[in-house]
Amino acid sequence: MERYTEYHVGVAVLKDKTKMKEAMSRFAELEERDTAKRPIKEEDSGIRYTDSYRCRNCGKGFTGIGIASFCYHCGQRFDWR
Ligand SMILES: [Zn+2]
């Protein structure tokens, strides 16, 4: 993926000013992913010993509560409170 920004002494600099819109949308996407979201609990579909959840961001499933801080699939941060 082409980088829109580069770091100069801890400050992000936009390399090409015409890419402002793309850079902002990418930033918003990252910020969104880093905002903890509660996983969606799957409805029981039979006898299970562990609960299954779905990621709110990518919709992919995983099993077990409070194990993962981030989605294995897309990196979405989870809120288990
Ligand atoms: Zn995900």
Residue 45: its pLDDT value, please? 57
Q: In terms of pLDDT, which residue wins out, 22 or 44?
A: 22
Least confident window among 25-34, 51-60, 65-74: 65-74
- Identify the pLDDT of residue 35: 95
C-alpha torsion angle, residues 12, 17, 21, 25 (rounded to 10): -20
DSSP structure class, residue 17: G
pLDDT(49) > 70: no
Taking the centre of ligand 1 as the mean of its atom positions, its distance from the CA of residue 46, in whole angstroms, is 24
Residues near 64 by beta carbon (within 8 Å), at least 6 away in sequence? 50, 51
Q: Compute the distance from residue 16 Cα to the ligand 1 centre, in Å.
A: 31
The better pLDDT of the pair 50, 69 is held by 69
Distance 55 CA to ligand 1 centre (A): 5
Q: What is the pLDDT of residue 48?
A: 59
